[in-house]
């Protein structure tokens, strides 16, 4: 066997032994590290798992407490109602705390109950009113039997207002020079409205009197006066008058 030039044989062997020692040391270090990790896992792993379980239980308990938190019961708010009204069946609606129970009483008698939806809204449909004043009460009750209530009232009025047209009289005749006539009268509801041939006229806020100059031309003039009260009831009066035509020119003899 030939020797390598300039490289003594003993140097190669000594180098191999040193490398083996380094490898053994690394293996021993890795084994020791693994042993330490196994010991930690053995002694602390269970405790760590228990700790995680404790934290999870605590979080769940916190969520339970939070979800069980009682939201303060809100006083019911009712949507506006037409008042007075001539409609016998109405809807009573509004809002309050979500998912509580609301009860409707009409004139001192409980007539309906429902559950508020998740958005906090509720509705009672087809509530039948009696003639005159109606007292409405809505009571909200939560799971702890706490209560909040709201009262309102609405008047059912199905009687049309009275209407008197004092001028002009029906069938009246006016000369050809007439360019306008005064239409006047009174209604029993000063809070209502009066239309004269579809034109709204001004009412006296105390007496309900009205007066309007209506432009006219020759021939028959149809006059329609319609009065509405605050509840929406109405009554109509009609007049027909005649405006004389212009005289034909005189013939030459």
Of 132-141, 145-154, 241-250, the poorest mean pLDDT is in 241-250
The boundaries of the domain holding residue 228 are 163-243
| Burial readout 41-75 (b: 16 or more C-beta within 10 A, e: otherwise) | eeeeeeeeeeeeeeeeeeeeeeeeeeeeeeeebbe
**Whether residues 137 and 180 fall in one domain:** no
User: Where does the pLDDT of residue 130 fall: very low under 50, low under 70, confident under 90, or very high at 90 and above?
Assistant: very high
User: CB of 129 within 8 A of CB of 154?
Assistant: yes
User: How much is the average pLDDT of 94-105?
Assistant: 96
**Whether residues 124 and 173 fall in one domain:** no
- 219-228 sheet: strands from edge to edge: 173-174, 234-243, 219-228, 193-196, 199-201
Q: Is residue 145 in some structural domain?
A: yes
Q: Is residue 88 in some structural domain?
A: yes
Residue 60 has pLDDT above 60, yes or no: no
Partners of residue 140 on adjacent β-strands: 102, 148
**Whether residues 125 and 186 fall in one domain:** no
User: Where does the pLDDT of residue 29 fall: very low under 50, low under 70, confident under 90, or very high at 90 and above?
Assistant: confident
User: How much is the average pLDDT of 141-158?
Assistant: 96
Q: What is the pTM of this model?
A: 0.62
Cis peptide before 38 (omega within 30 of 0): no
**Whether residues 173 and 236 fall in one domain:** yes
pLDDT of residue 196: 96
Domain end among 156, 181, 201: 156
| Burial readout 187-211 (b: 16 or more C-beta within 10 A, e: otherwise) | bebbebbbebeeeebebeeeebbbe
Q: Is residue 220 in some structural domain?
A: yes
**Whether residues 101 and 171 fall in one domain:** no
Distance CA 166, CA 182 (A): 10
Distance CA 9, CA 185 (A): 140
**Whether residues 141 and 205 fall in one domain:** no
Domain count, the chain: 3
What's the mean pLDDT when you consider all of the chain?
85
pLDDT in tens, 152-211: 999 999 999 999 999 999 999 999 999 999 999 999 999 999 999 999 999 999 999 999
**Whether residues 152 and 169 fall in one domain:** no
**Whether residues 178 and 238 fall in one domain:** yes
Q: How many CA atoms lie within 13 A of 61 on its CB side?
A: 6
User: CB of 140 within 8 A of CB of 74?
Assistant: yes
């Amino acid at each position: 066997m030939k020797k390598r030039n300039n490289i003594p044989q003993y140097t190669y062997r000594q180098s191999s032994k040193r490398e083996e020692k380094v490898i053994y040391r690394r293996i021993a270090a890795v084994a020791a590290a693994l042993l330490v990790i196994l010991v930690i896992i053995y002694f602390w792993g269970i405790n760590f798992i228990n700790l995680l379980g404790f934290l999870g239980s605590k979080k769940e308990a916190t969520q339970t407490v939070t979800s069980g938190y009682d939201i303060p019961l809100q006083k019911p708010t009712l949507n506006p109602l037409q008042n007075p009204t001539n409609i016998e069946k109405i809807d009573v609606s509004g809002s309050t705390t979500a998912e509580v129970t609301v009860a409707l009483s009409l004139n001192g008698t409980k007539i309906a109950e429902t559950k508020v939806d998740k958005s906090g809204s509720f509705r009672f449909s087809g509530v039948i009113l009696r003639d005159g004043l109606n007292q409405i009460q809505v009571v909200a009750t939560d799971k702890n039997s706490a209560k909040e209530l709201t009262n309102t009232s609405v008047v059912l009025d199905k009687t049309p207002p009275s209407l008197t047209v004092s001028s002009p009289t029906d069938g009246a005749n006016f000369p050809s020079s007439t360019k306008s006539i005064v239409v006047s009268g009174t209604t029993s509801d000063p809070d209502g409205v009066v239309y004269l041939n579809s034109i709204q006229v001004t009412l006296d806020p105390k007496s309900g009197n009205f007066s309007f100059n209506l432009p006219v031309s020759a021939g028959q003039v149809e006059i329609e006066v319609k009065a509405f009260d605050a509840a929406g009831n109405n009554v109509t009066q009609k007049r027909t008058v005649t405006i004389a035509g212009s005289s034909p020119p005189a013939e030459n003899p």
